[in-house]
Structure 1
Amino acid sequence: MIRAVRISKSFEDKLVIDDVSVTFQPGEINQIIGQSGSGKTVLLKSLVGLYEVDKGEIFYDDFSFTKLQRNEKQEVREKIGMLFQGSALFDSATVIENVMFPLEMFTKMSKEEMEERANFCLQRVDIENANHLFPSEISGGMQKRVAIARAIALNPRYLFCDEPNSGLDPRTATVIDNLIKEITQEYQMTTIINTHDMNSIMEIGDKIFFINEGKIWWEGNREEILHADNKELNDFVFSSALTRAVKGVL
């Protein structure tokens, strides 16, 4: 579980996250949604520790992440998996080298042990016979699968995903969504996804948090979102759905 308690974050004189309190449960797909500039990316980066909050506290389970010393925060970060927008694979490394990277950084495994773990993770995301290939030699969907394999290599308790469907066609995006959902439930991870993809929201969103002007404007599940009495949320849902429909036609 991850909790934010009355956190705020400013850049110079601009308040981006404004007194936000929110709880993300394990074993669920927790999605942060909102218009560009609403603060959702800053919230995600604050939760993972890439930004230090100005006020409030962030808890990982029962521990105040905000109050931990630098070396103590590193211990928590070793339990975090990250799936970046665009996959962020190393171009000069092969598929298996990409998955082994966090194992080399944070464990004392032998090379044989790292290869065994990396192969297990690649098999878990349904990638075989691609270990020797480079990212440029595989499709965008396969790159996302490799990035997921790398994210779960350390068997994390927490998984952060930044726009995981960015750049993918609808069919491949659905495959990636379902894979993230399966892994979240299988390992009972606390998964937080930053997204604007309405298909993803309606297919796998267990708990949805709509952020607007730096505040949590609405929260609920995917069954409730279409019937919410919230103008800003309704505008977001309509515009997102319309954009998706136009892309489908084009």
Structure 2
Amino acid sequence: MITVNNVYKSFADLKVLNDISITFEAGKTNLIIGQSGSGKTVLLKSIIGLHEVDSGSIFYNDRNFTAMNLKGRKEIRKEMGMVFQGGALFDSMTVEENVLFPLNMFSNSSEKEKKERANFCLNRVNIQNSNHLFPAEISGGMQKRVAIARAIALNPKYLFCDEPNSGLDPVTAILIDNLILEITKEYNITTIINTHDMNSVMEIGEKIIFISKGNKVWEGTKDGIFDTDNEDLNNFVFASELYKKIKKIS
């Protein structure tokens, strides 16, 4: 579980996050949605410590991440997995070397054990016989799956995904969504996903937080998202391609 308490964040005179309080639950896919510039990426970067908040606190279970020194934060970062927008694989490393990277950085296991773990993770995301290929030699969907394998290599308690479906076709995007959901349930991970993709929201959104102009203006489940009377959320949802498809069918 991750708890965000009364977080504020500004850059110079621009207020980006305004009194944000959220509890992200373990074993669930927690989705942060909002338009570009809403503050959702700044919120995610603040949660993992890439941005220092102006005030407020962020707890990982009962550990106050905000108040920790660099050593303390490093220990918690060992428990984090990240899936970056675009995958962010190392172009000069093979598929296997990309998954081994966090293991080589943080694990004291033997070389044999690290390779076994890397292969386990690649098999878990349905990547076989591609260990010695480079990212440029595999598809975008496979790159995302390798990124997920790398993210879970250290058995994380917390998984962060920034626009994991960016640049993917709809069928592949659904496969990635389902894979993230399966891994979240299987390992009881606290998963936080930044997205503007309403297909993802309706496929795997168990807890949804809508951010608008730096404020948390709605929180709920995918079942309630079309019944809300929140004007900002309605404008966001009704402008989505998914809503247009639903209206066309109905």
8 Å contact from structure 2 (residues 10, 16) kept in 1: yes
Aligned to 1:77: 77
1:76-225 alignment runs, 5 A limit: 76-225=76-225
1:17-96 alignment runs, 5 A limit: 17-96=17-96
Cα distance change on mapping 1:172 and 1:188 into 2, 3 Å? same
How many Å separate the matches in 1 of 2:239 and 2:186? Answer: 33
The CA deviation string for residues 29-53 of structure 1, in whole angstroms up to 9 with x for no partner, is 0000001111000001001111010
How many Å separate the matches in 2 of 1:64 and 1:72? Answer: 10
8 Å contact from structure 2 (residues 103, 153) kept in 1: yes
The CA deviation string for residues 227-248 of structure 1, in whole angstroms up to 9 with x for no partner, is 1111110000011226986xxx
How many Å separate the matches in 1 of 2:244 and 2:73? Answer: 39
Aligned to 2:10: 10
8 Å contact from structure 2 (residues 87, 147) kept in 1: yes
How many Å separate the matches in 2 of 1:225 and 1:109? Answer: 45
Percent identity between matched residues is 64
The CA deviation string for residues 155-180 of structure 1, in whole angstroms up to 9 with x for no partner, is 00000000000000000000000000
In structure 1, runs of 5+ residues without a counterpart are: 246-250
The CA deviation string for residues 18-68 of structure 1, in whole angstroms up to 9 with x for no partner, is 011110000000000001111000001001111010000000000100011
1:7 counterpart letter in structure 2: V
Which contiguous aligned blocks of 4+ residues in structure 1 show a shift greater than 3 angstroms?
242-245
In structure 2, runs of 5+ residues without a counterpart are: 246-250
- Matched residue SS, 2:19: strand
How many Å separate the matches in 1 of 2:51 and 2:243? Answer: 31
How many Å separate the matches in 2 of 1:36 and 1:193? Answer: 15
Q: TM-score, normalization: structure 1? A: 0.96
2:116 counterpart letter in structure 1: E
How many Å separate the matches in 1 of 2:218 and 2:102? Answer: 36
How many Å separate the matches in 1 of 2:16 and 2:241? Answer: 26
1:209 counterpart letter in structure 2: I
1:72 counterpart letter in structure 2: G
The CA deviation string for residues 52-85 of structure 1, in whole angstroms up to 9 with x for no partner, is 1000000000010001111010000000000000
Q: TM-score, normalization: structure 2? A: 0.96
Aligned to 1:248: none
8 Å contact from structure 2 (residues 89, 135) kept in 1: yes
Shift of 1:108: 1.6
How many Å separate the matches in 2 of 1:175 and 1:244? Answer: 22
Cα-Cα RMSD = 1.0
1:90 counterpart letter in structure 2: F
